[in-house]
Amino acid sequence: MSAPMRMREKAILRIVSRAFIPFILLFGLYVQFHGDFGPGGGFQAGVIFAAGFILYGLIFGLESLKKVATPRAVELFMALGLIIYAGTGVVSLFKGMKYLDYGVFGSHGQHYGILLIEAGVGITVASTMMMIYYAFAGRGGEA
């Protein structure tokens, strides 16, 4: 019997993980939006967010996770995060300023610019971590 099959049969693991996954995702969002005020930010939030989805995949199986977050959607989010990050800098270039000069976003430009940059990093990191999990979990080897 394979290891993922054994985990799906454990009622305690299923119940506890089902209860904790929303809190893991919520904590990832907290780290994402608190990143410009203290420790944390896009990279850390992306890893935490991906960890919630990966836990779901470990407990309920890869096919169940692919129904929740399809590989195609994860690929699109990888590109979207990069576009948000790079687009934030390109906007300032088109306005005649330096790349990633947040003054282009108005009086609260520093805050909005960092928020956009960190959002791009978080989305990219989360989707990349999930894609790495898909690549390794889909190999089909026995543990």
Q: How many CB atoms lie within 10 A of CB 132?
A: 12
Phi-psi region at 13: left, alpha or beta (left = phi > 0; alpha = psi -120 to 50): alpha
Phi, psi of 133 (to 5 degrees): -60, -45
Instruction: Report the half-sphere exposure of 135 (CA within 13 A, side-chain side).
Output: 8
> Is 71 within the bounds of a domain?
yes
Residues 94-110: tens digit of each pLDDT = 988 888 888 888 888 88
> Is 142 within the bounds of a domain?
no
pLDDT of residue 43: 93
Written as six digits, the tokens of 70 are 């399809």
> Is 143 within the bounds of a domain?
no
Q: How many CB atoms lie within 10 A of CB 127?
A: 25
Q: Which of 128, 94, 99 is nearest to 113 (CA)?
A: 99
pLDDT of residue 6: 66
pLDDT of residue 1: 47
Average of per-residue pLDDT values in the chain: 88
Using the 8-state DSSP alphabet, how is residue 107 labeled? T
pLDDT of residue 95: 87
Which residue in this structure is represented by tokens 């989707």?
127
Residues 42-54: tens digit of each pLDDT = 999 999 999 999 9
- Contacts for 39 with CB less than 8 Å, ≥ 6 apart: none
Does pLDDT of 86 surpass 70?
A: yes
What percentage of the chain has pLDDT greater than the value 70? 88
Does pLDDT of 3 surpass 60?
A: no
Helix 11-34 / helix 109-137 crossing angle, nearest 10 deg: 150
pLDDT of residue 143: 44
Instruction: Report the half-sphere exposure of 39 (CA within 13 A, side-chain side).
Output: 0
**DSSP code per residue over 48-62:** HHHHHHHHHHHHH-H
Output the pTM of the full model: 0.85
Domain region containing 60 = 3-137
pLDDT of residue 44: 94
Residues 24-71: tens digit of each pLDDT = 999 999 999 887 676 668 999 999 999 999 999 999 999 999 999 999
> What is the total count of domains within the chain?
1
